[in-house]
Amino acid sequence: MNGLDIVFHTPEIPGNTGNAIRLAAVTGAHLHLVEPLGFDLSDAKLRRAGLDYHDLAHVTIHPDLDHLWAQLGERRIIAFTTHTEDSFADVAYRPGDVLLFGRESTGLPAEVVDDAHVDLRVRIPMLPSRRSLNLANSASIAVYEAWRQNGYPGGS
């Protein structure tokens, strides 16, 4: 395990979550899904995107944010949002960090971004007039930057 946790708050698209399962499996990150999910976990698109990595990934499903916060304890929570000017690339990531992402259609709701548990709010830079990156791609960019900064522990 690389010591990072990825959180998808109420994801809607099964293929993105399948890709995140694969990301968690190949990097050793722990994937957390906060309900409600916009799909059934047996969805064929989720299974196809995750390929045969489901058994290799550590995935936890939480009924709500309060359950997630209780499970994470005193960890540093980094929320990825378009509602900040702070770049994800300026963060000194450390083992134990939690990378929090919102749903595909709306991102993280304001009440989550502003929650007392959230320590940092960052964005992934894009060209002007573009709404957002794909959720799984955003998570991949962030996880690999954090993992790189920490020397790819456990990687080969």
**Residue 44 and residue 50: Cα distance in Å, rounded?**
10
Structural domains in the chain, CATH included, are 5-149 (3.40.1280.10)
Q: Residue 43's pLDDT is what?
A: 57
Q: Is 102 among the annotated ligand-binding positions?
A: yes
Q: Report pTM.
A: 0.92
Q: Are 95 and 153 in contact (CB under 8 A)?
A: yes
Q: What is the pLDDT along the chain (156 residues), one digit of tens a residue?
A: 568 999 999 999 988 998 999 999 999 999 999 999 988 877 566 566 555 676 788 999 999 999 999 999 999 999 999 999 999 999 999 999 999 999 999 999 999 999 999 999 999 999 998 878 899 999 999 999 999 999 998 888
**How many Cβ atoms from other residues are within 10 Å of residue 144's Cβ?**
13
Q: According to the model, what pLDDT value does residue 86 have?
A: 97
Q: Does 42 belong to an annotated binding site?
A: no
Q: Is 132 annotated as a binding residue?
A: yes
User: Maximum CA pair distance of the chain?
Assistant: 39
